[in-house]
Chain A
Amino acid sequence: MVTVSVEGLSVALGRREVVSAVSARFHGGELVGIIGPNGAGKSTLVRAMLGLVPAQTGSVSIDGVAVGRMAARDRARTLAYLPQGQTLHWPLDVERLVSLGRLPHLAPLSRIGADDRAAVAEAMARADVGHLAHRIATELSGGERARVMLARALAVGAQGLVVDEPLAALDPGHQIDVMELLAREAHAGALVVTVLHDLTMAARYCDRLILMDQGCVVAEGAPAAVLTAETLRGVYGISAKVDLSGTAPMVVPLERIR
């Protein structure tokens, strides 16, 4: 199982410090949700975890190795990443798209092998998109496309999966599909970190939440500890009805306060 530790991490985009002195540890087997208002630094934090943006100060290490020192292919095989926005620039068919996840495993000039094909088929089965294999990915519905992009990330076969806003523009049914898929991966031993906006989904599926505001971690812990009426008021500026008891936790935003 993989462990990612972030220590005293600050990241600047241009001149603006977007992530300020964040420390956090992520272990295999847990589903961690990163929540917070727009512009809180969530996406930048996960991008820094993957070494996609350099740290200003502090460090990110994967299993004790600084992310900047790892060979890019090794890092790619350890942590898979699904950026926000479901970007796909060419009308590939689903199977071809999912097989892009095998790129970190291919030796130069070698062709995609039997084990790669098996990994692609398995990833498609886990994301329940096997029946879409020969459809054109750019022509799928939003919900189908979200699962296909997740299958692409799963095909990497990494121990860690970092997903940025996987629920954007999905209907409730597809939101549940995606969250259950992420939870299954985590409980099978993977480290799954996901940026989320839906607080009810975060409360229901995540083992641990990290609440960010203005680049800093404001609260961290079990959903019940993080999602309180006071923290929501302080961070989001909303009043909310919070009921985290029982099997159907709920966070219903009521009105804007400030």
Chain B
Amino acid sequence: MSAASIEVHRTRHPALLPLLVVLVVVAVLASLGLGAVPLAPARIVAAAMGEGDAITRTILFELRLPRALVGLMVGAMLGLAGAVLQGYLRNPLAEPSVLGASNSAALGAVAAIYFGFAEWHAAALPALAILTGLAALLLLFALAGRSESPLTLILAGIAVSTLAGAGISLSLNLSPNPFAAMEITTWLLGSIENRSSQHVLIALPCVVAGIALLLVDGRALDALALGEDGARSLGFDLGRVRLRVLLGVAIGVGGAVAVSGSIGFIGLIVPHLVRPLTDRSPSSILIPSMLGGAALLTFADVLVRLIPTSSELKLGVVTAFLGVPVFLVHLLRERRLW
């Protein structure tokens, strides 16, 4: 076995974080500049300085900027949630949408719209999304138990995700008019088209709280590489870690889904892309996954604007196509074909 004898020095690649920051900046500039009306960088700068024409300023501040900010927040949240769930569950296939959390949060959002709660108060929709996301994670952890087998977890995730999908389909089925049905479809497919500063304000506190809860347990996630007993013998209180992971994912992903719908696979793809450039420990991929998620989702959102289709592609459709290769790589590795 030549592979086993190769000496490697696994540390975080020094260029990883600078590279990701550059990618995020480029993604934001592309998101601000590209679309139905392309804006040259000079016009963006001029508008940002308060100069330039009113149309440019309107496009920039009322359409492009909120959309870019929502993309960054949702992407960062999904990337980090994927990295934390993979570490916590010691499973490289764990991710909010694979585990059904995204779909369940979308179900909460759809229920809020369907039953009219969303009209009572602006916070009703994200609150319901967070609650259903939390319920989904509790159900998932109960179904999968303490099993460390990827299969059990994926099956439990499929069960939770299918249940939530069925709930959304039911509301689609019973929806009073085609417009309501169209809106519900948007939640299923995921999109950050036409987001306003109000969406930014809904997502921001949830995403900030989610990220704060998920960033503190990096060392406990590293210790969990030794199994639950190994981690506890190193002095970690796994009950508290579990609580923070549950709340962080539910609040963060719930808030993100409340403004974007269910966008899948970001949390699956990004940790896999950044992991080879780190020392492979769960803590080392947290911040890179957050930055990478923000960049990837923003680029995917630019892509849906550029691909010429009769109606604009939904973001979740694009990310799902991007996610499949990651599953394929895992399948091939499991079958020892690669």
Measured CB to CB, the residues of A under 8 A from B are 47, 50, 52, 71-77, 79-81, 83, 85, 87-93, 96-97, 100-101, 103-104, 106, 134-136, 139-140, 152, 156
Contacts and interface: CB of A to CB of B under 8 A. Distances in A.
Nearest to B220: A103
A83 B224 CA distance: 12
B7 A90 contact: no
A81 B3 contact: no
Contact of B233 (A52, A85, A88, A106): A52
Contacts of B222: 100, 103
B10 interface: yes
Contact of B279 (A52, A87, A92, A106): A92
A47 B229 contact: yes
Given A83-B230, A104-B235, A139-B4, A134 B9 contact: yes
Given A106-B219, A139-B4, A93 B234 contact: no
Contacts of A52: 229, 232-233
Given A90-B281, A90-B282, A103-B235, A136 B219 contact: no
Nearest to A156: B234
A47 B228 CA distance: 12
Query: Which of B230, B233, B235, B280 has the most chain A CB within a 10 Å cutoff?
Result: B233
Contacts of B234: 76, 100-101, 103-104, 156
Contacts of B8: 93, 134-136
Contacts of A156: 234
25 contacts: A47-B229, A50-B232, A52-B233, A76-B233, A76-B234, A80-B233, A83-B226, A87-B230, A89-B224, A90-B280, A93-B8, A93-B280, A96-B280, A100-B223, A100-B226, A100-B234, A103-B219, A103-B222, A103-B235, A106-B219, A134-B7, A135-B4, A136-B10, A139-B3, A139-B4
Interface in B246-288: 279-282
In the complex, which range does the number of interface residues on chain B fall in?
A: 20 to 34
Q: Is the interface of A mostly helix, strand, loop or mixed?
A: mixed
Contacts of A104: 234-235
B236 A72 contact: yes
A116 B90 CA distance: 26
Nearest to A53: B229
A96 B237 contact: no
Interface in B1-37: 1, 3-4, 7-10
Given A83-B227, A100-B222, A92 B281 contact: yes
B281 A73 contact: no
Contacts of A136: 4, 8, 10
Given A80-B233, A100-B223, A103-B235, 17 more contacts: A47-B229, A83-B227, A83-B233, A85-B227, A87-B226, A87-B230, A88-B226, A89-B148, A89-B227, A90-B282, A91-B280, A92-B10, A93-B279, A93-B280, A96-B279, A103-B219, A140-B4
